[in-house]
A = this chain, B = another copy of it.
Amino acid sequence: MADYAPVAGCMIIEPWGMAVWERIRDTFDAMITADGVKNMYFPLFIPESYLEKEADLLEGFLPELAWIEEPDTEDVQEKIAVRPTSESVIAPYMADKIRSYRDLPFRINQWANVVRWEVTDTTPFMRTREFLWQEGHTAERDNEEAQEEAMRRLEQYRELIENTLAISVMKGRKPEHDKFPGAEITTTVESLMPDGRSIQNGTSHNLGTNFSKAYGITYMDENEEERYAYTTSWGITTRLIGGLIMAHGDDQGLVLPPTVAPKQVVIVPIWRDDTEESVLGYANEVADELEDAGFRVELDDREHRGPGYKFNEWELKGVPIRIEIGPNEVEDGVLTGVHRDTGETEQFERDEVVDHVQQDLDAMQDRLLEQQKQFQDENVREAESADEAKEIITEHGGYVTMPWCGNEGCEAEIKDDVAADIVMVPLKPPVVESPCSICGADGEEIAYFARNY
């Protein structure tokens, strides 16, 4: 899926991984453009003075910025950073384009590369200095509409990740001290990986008027009064592929959900000289029929590789269904199918191949989601004290929920010992009747502690 790049911490996305990313992109792009979001492209380079306008944003990203060396050009007189995110060029663009309430909501998006330099422990897809992402930016009339917008995108992320990647998610808010720089509310979709750690799959931010005030995004309302717009931003990245690999993979390699698999079916014909014509002819017909029905099919008729080699290779790549065709299958008018996730083998009638493959793919898509969802549901545990929380994290991993006072210091109590953070609190601020399980002060939130990526 990916390879290491010459510059440390960067990655080369290989064809199989890129095909997955393009499928994620096209699926989500269709969802947001149907909602009237327009794609644009903003520059890679951001002048320092633009970054400085929103103090939290600059402070939050400063340690991670890559700067361009003295551009030495007459027409550029200040420092230039490589974008870590694009609020600071998109907000001024909005300020320029938005005039009246009729221009709202104003909804744009870009698919782009971004750079966050000061990253340690880089791993392809999970944490890289450059990654690909989608960043949506919108402006609304008031806080209520901005919050609705942020929630709409969070829900679309859930839909994308569950339906396409077959990964169940929990929606939540990030605690105050872990919000996106400049955000009023940062929401997240979190998923549990098989190793018991949580992964943040995407975030959606209600930025309130913080960016509007910093960059002057105002509009005339129906009464000709000038008001600040409320803005949002929301993003998913190539990290989704990292989660996908972990969520479903096994000892034989990847297991790709049919919806996102670059190839859904691989046909491996097995022949000798005397059966070559009949087996390959039969295999080609099956491949054509499946392709005509809209499936993504690979016919692996390489001559210099044996069936065992091919089986391994396509298992490693996670293709959902393998169809084996030898002389027996041809003679009996049947096909032998193997399911990548369960290893289960079955024979079915050649004539029913389209319906059969469709049913198998649908069942596998459901099965993968269901398994991961069940695992996730089983691994949310309540704790009544810091010690119990640490014990659960150490023994089981997963999520531990506890009443929490909202103080970052109490998080540190757990974090320093067992490396678990508060990855989220419930989307809607809960009514907390118990005191903070760590310090005993009034409980403000229900904290979800987990080790995370």
Contact = CB atoms under 8 A, between A and B. Distances in A.
Interface string A29-62: 0000000001111111111001000000000000
A117 B73 CA distance: 9
A43 B67 CA distance: 16
A7 B93 contact: no
Contacts of A22: 39
Given A44-B113, A69-B69, A73-B117, A19 B7 contact: no
Given A68-B69, A69-B67, A130 B304 contact: no
Interface in A129-177: 129-130, 132
Interface in A291-319: 304
Contact of A18 (B13, B40, B45, B96): B40
A76 interface: yes
A96 B80 CA distance: 35
**How many of these chains are in the complex?**
2
A12 B42 CA distance: 5
Contacts of A73: 8, 117-118
A69 B69 CA distance: 4
A118 B75 CA distance: 11
A6 B46 contact: yes
A432 interface: no
A256 interface: no
Contact of A41 (B45, B89, B108, B132): B132
A3 B113 contact: no
B42 A5 contact: yes
Contact of A80 (B7, B13, B21, B113): B7
Contacts of A66: 68-69, 71
B18 A39 contact: yes
A82 interface: yes
B82 A68 contact: yes
A15 interface: yes
Overall SS of chain A's interface? mixed
A73 B129 CA distance: 12
B75 A8 contact: yes
Most chain B C-beta atoms within 10 Å of own C-beta, residue among A21, A40, A50, A82: A40
Given A5-B42, A22-B39, A71 B12 contact: no
Contacts of A92: 6
B10 A45 contact: yes
A3 B68 contact: no
B46 A15 contact: no
A89 B6 contact: yes
Contacts of A207: none
B46 A76 contact: no
Interface string A83-116: 0000001001100100000100000100011010
A290 to B, nearest CB: 18
Nearest to A118: B73
B67 A7 contact: no
A426 interface: no
B10 A43 contact: yes
B5 A43 contact: yes
A132 B115 CA distance: 17
A7 B45 contact: yes
A76 B122 CA distance: 13
Instruction: Across the A-B interface, give the 9 residue pairs with the lowest CB-CB distance, nearest first.
Output: A15-B38, A10-B43, A13-B41, A8-B75, A67-B69, A5-B43, A7-B45, A69-B69, A18-B39
30 contacts: A3-B93, A3-B96, A5-B42, A5-B89, A6-B47, A7-B46, A8-B73, A8-B75, A9-B76, A10-B43, A10-B44, A10-B45, A11-B43, A12-B42, A15-B39, A18-B38, A18-B39, A18-B41, A19-B39, A21-B41, A44-B113, A44-B115, A44-B130, A45-B129, A67-B69, A69-B70, A73-B117, A73-B118, A82-B82, A113-B113
